[in-house]
């Protein structure tokens, strides 16, 4: 019995000491960019360092000291105009396990020119499972964005489809775009069988660093949250843990005098979180709050009213993978994989000047912003003829509840289209072809039954008085709040 008690006390003592390791060092200006604290390189005053719960501030010499928490990273909160050394354009702003064991670590920060108005690229769920999926990302995202003026990139979680070996090739690809990448953790990036709560993100943290953190970029404050709260073997809910609440509260208290606005990046949308009201309450000191999420494989925009404050804005940014890389492949061997609301797979640009949003369909011209569907009766391939009706549909990919959509048959007179709560016609067409057996023999993932109601679909009944001729119809969509101002075209043939 005495031996058992001695063993337990020894184990508890070891665990306590291990969990309470103190790490200290300096946050310094790495003037020669070699990541080492060289003679003459000065410490940076007032930089924040965190253990995932507590936050300390460096003294006038750049010195810090902080207690570690088992399963959490120790990391620096990036100040404006500085950045940690980059590995494949991932900021290395955290300590490794070996650094914690050594108990001394000096954080290098390098000068980083950052504009006042930022152009941020938002990547909803890449969801790569095998190397084929990474090849799709290469073609649809990396090769397209390489020439773009991007300040930083936010992959919004579900980087993988449970296969965490894909962290490395995906990160290598996105790093080639040429801008810093700040990753968000999703439910498919978690460790399902973790024995301790703080190990739920072990694989993610080993490769990317902390699964929640904050940073300043230019004049903006950004907050990355991990709102994946494990339940059971593979279950989860949208929720923040208590350590994370303490961390966020500390960050906001220390930053509220300096910033009026904040950008919050997370995986699960706010309205799907169990504690969404508590999360909203965190931002009472910030007049302008913009939340960006992924997860749903659809895209939409919402507002959350606040008493005596402007509404919190949210963008749910769809998915780079569309619907899990499903459906037949095009000539570049890429699945069509429309999102469940009929949006072609792609990504977003967020400009912080007026929070203007722009959606880009991967593999298409930038001006492809509206999918217009008209009745089309064929003689040879008649499979889709029975889907025709008397309406013209406009799927405005970046549309919201504030968007106005109009149509013209002659380029002169314009008619309002009505918001339509229905399934996107494109999805019905693809599913019908699948039912007809058109894709049999292809090694593909099948398209599910289309049933998701699109949040950005409009329609208008074709006037019976239209002459029996061929028209080049125009559809335009405008939204002053998001800066949307786009035009689409489609030929409409009215025959006897």
- Tell me the per-residue pLDDT of 80-127, one tens digit each, with 9 for 90 and over: 999 999 999 999 999 987 778 889 999 999 999 999 999 999 999 999
Please say if the pLDDT value at position 10 is more than 90: no
**Scanning the structure block, which residue is given the tokens 């507590």?**
54
Which of these, 323, 319, 259, 317, lies nearest to 292 by C-alpha position? 317
Enclosing H/E stretch for 478 = strand 470-479
pLDDT digits (tens, 9 = 90+) for 54-65: 999 999 999 999
Confidence of residue 496 (pLDDT cuts 50, 70, 90): low
pLDDT at 296 over 90: yes
User: Does residue 69 have a pLDDT over 50?
Assistant: yes
Q: Which two tokens stand for residue 10?
A: 């020894």
Least Cα distance to 326 among 343, 341, 310, 339 occurs for 339
Cβ(217)–Cβ(152) below 8 Å: yes
Residue of 188, 144, 160, 209 whose CA lies nearest to 349: 144
As a three-state string, the secondary structure of 117-129 is: CCEEEEECCCCEC
Three-state secondary structure call for residue 277? helix
CB 457 within 8 A of CB 300: no
Q: Are the C-beta atoms of 200 and 194 separated by less than 8 Å?
A: yes
DSSP state of 138: I
Domains of the chain: 21-111 (2.60.40.10), 119-361 (3.60.21.10), 370-493 (2.60.40)
Q: Of 394, 433, 396, whose CA–CA distance to 415 is shortest?
A: 394
CA distances from 33 to 26, 86, 178, 231 (A): 16, 11, 18, 43
At 349, give phi and psi (nearest 5°). -115, 135
Structure token pair of residue 236: 């989860």
> How much is the pLDDT for 196?
93
Residue 495 pLDDT level (bands cut at 50, 70, 90): confident
Cβ pair 190, 201 in contact under 8 A: yes
Structural contact between residues 136 and 346, judged by C-beta atoms closer than 8 angstroms: no
């Amino acid at each position: 019995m005495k031996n058992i008690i001695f063993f337990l006390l020894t184990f508890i003592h070891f665990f306590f000491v291990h969990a309470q390791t103190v790490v200290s060092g300096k946050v310094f200006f790495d003037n020669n960019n070699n990541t080492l604290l060289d003679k003459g390189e000065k410490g940076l005053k007032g930089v924040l360092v965190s253990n995932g719960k507590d936050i300390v501030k460096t003294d006038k010499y750049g010195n810090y000291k902080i207690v570690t928490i088992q399963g959490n990273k120790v990391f620096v909160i990036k100040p404006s105009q500085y950045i940690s050394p980059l590995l494949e354009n991932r900021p290395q702003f955290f300590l490794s396990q070996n650094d914690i064991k050594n108990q001394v670590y000096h954080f290098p920060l390098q000068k980083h020119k950052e504009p006042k108005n930022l152009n941020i690229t938002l990547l909803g769920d890449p969801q790569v499972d095998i190397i084929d999926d990474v090849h799709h990302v290469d073609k649809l995202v990396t090769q397209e964005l390489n020439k773009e003026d991007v300040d930083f990139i936010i992959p919004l979680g579900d980087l993988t489809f449970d296969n965490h070996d894909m962290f490395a090739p995906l990160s290598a690809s996105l790093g080639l775009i040429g801008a810093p990448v700040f990753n968000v953790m999703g439910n498919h990036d978690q460790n399902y069988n973790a024995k301790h709560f703080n190990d739920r993100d072990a694989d993610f943290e080993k490769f990317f660093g902390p699964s929640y953190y904050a940073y300043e970029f230019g004049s903006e404050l950004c907050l990355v949250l991990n709102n994946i709260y494990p339940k059971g073997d593979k279950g989860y809910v949208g929720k923040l843990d208590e350590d994370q609440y303490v961390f966020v509260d500390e960050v906001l208290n220390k930053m509220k005098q300096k910033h009026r606005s904040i950008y919050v990046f997370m995986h699960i949308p706010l309205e799907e979180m169990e504690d969404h009201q508590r999360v909203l309450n965190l931002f009472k000191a910030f007049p302008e709050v913009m939340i960006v999420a992924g997860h749903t494989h659809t895209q939409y925009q919402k507002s959350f009213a606040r008493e005596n404050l402007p509404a919190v804005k949210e963008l749910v940014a769809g998915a780079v993978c569309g619907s899990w890389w499903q459906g037949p492949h095009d000539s570049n061997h890429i699945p069509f994989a429309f999102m469940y609301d009929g949006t072609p797979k792609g990504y977003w640009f967020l400009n912080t000047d007026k929070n203007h949003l722009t959606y880009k369909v991967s593999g298409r011209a930038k001006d492809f912003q509206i999918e217009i569907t008209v009745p089309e009766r064929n003689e040879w391939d008649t499979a889709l003829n029975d889907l025709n009706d008397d309406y013209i549909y406009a799927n405005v990919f970046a549309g919201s509840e504030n968007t106005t959509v109009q149509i013209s048959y002659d380029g002169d007179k314009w008619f309002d289209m009505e918001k339509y709560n229905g399934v996107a016609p494109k999805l019905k067409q693809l599913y019908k072809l699948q039912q007809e057996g058109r894709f049999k023999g292809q090694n593909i993932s099948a398209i599910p039954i289309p049933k998701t109601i699109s949040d950005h679909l409009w329609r208008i009944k074709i006037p019976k008085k239209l002459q029996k001729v061929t028209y080049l119809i125009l559809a335009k969509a405008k939204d002053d709040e998001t800066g949307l101002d786009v035009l689409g075209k489609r030929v409409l043939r009215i025959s006897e």
